[in-house]
Amino acid sequence: MSRRIIEFTLLQNALDSISQAVELLAWKDIANDDSRLKQAILLTAQACELLLKERLRRVHPSLIWEDVDKYPRLDARTVGVERAVSRLKQIGGIVFDADDLKIVTSLRNTRNAIEHFAWKTTREEANAIVGNALSFAIDFAEKQLDTNIAYKFRSDDTWNHLLEQHADFARNHGWRTASGMKAVGKLVQECSFCNGMTQDLSTGACSLCGHWERLSTADDGASDEVTF
């Protein structure tokens, strides 16, 4: 009988963790909110670290190791979040937004507290941490790794459930999406479905929730003039 091999690449490993975090936040499979948020934070922190390492691997695989001379020994330490960010900036030439660096640092500190010590925070703060971090992870994967994570969750209602159930994520990711659209010159308006300023005026599609509606134009025969 052949043995079944379980194998995840760095990217697949990260995507699996994000998928589990999204499922927790969107569908609330764990009834206890405190436990659900804790698990979602741990999964998102793991995913962010793996995504950073995957980007570092694409610069050069040896950079993942704390001591590059020990590459590729599996018994040697790999870099943590702080060192990964530092190498991506100094060697990979990647520019990180200051707010994103704060998000990554806050997430790392929270993860360390959960895994190695006692953890105490407000539910509002926990929601803010995981909402901001999840948005960063999805944005980083798309821009730096050419991987559209959100697309996977649009095959069913998971993505829209996430936007509805997690206000911090919806607000943060809506801002990221709108900023990205404006940066490339797209004209946007508020989406009537998710209320994000992310509906593309040229296509009628919302880049945040995926909702589409036909936009009226002068060619429709409608007129902006009101006569009496």
Output the tens digit of pLDDT for each of the chain's 228 residues: 678 888 999 999 999 999 999 999 998 777 788 999 999 999 999 999 999 999 999 999 999 999 998 888 888 899 999 999 999 999 999 999 999 999 999 999 999 999 999 999 999 999 999 999 999 999 999 999 999 988 888 888 899 999 999 999 999 999 999 999 999 999 999 999 999 999 999 999 999 999 998 876 544 544 333 332
**Other C-beta atoms within 10 Å of 206: how many?**
25
Residue among 109, 83, 86 at smallest CA distance from 96: 86
**Other C-beta atoms within 10 Å of 211: how many?**
17
Q: How far apart are CA 179 and CA 202, in angstroms?
A: 16
Ordered domains of the chain (ranges, CATH)? 10-153 (1.20.120)
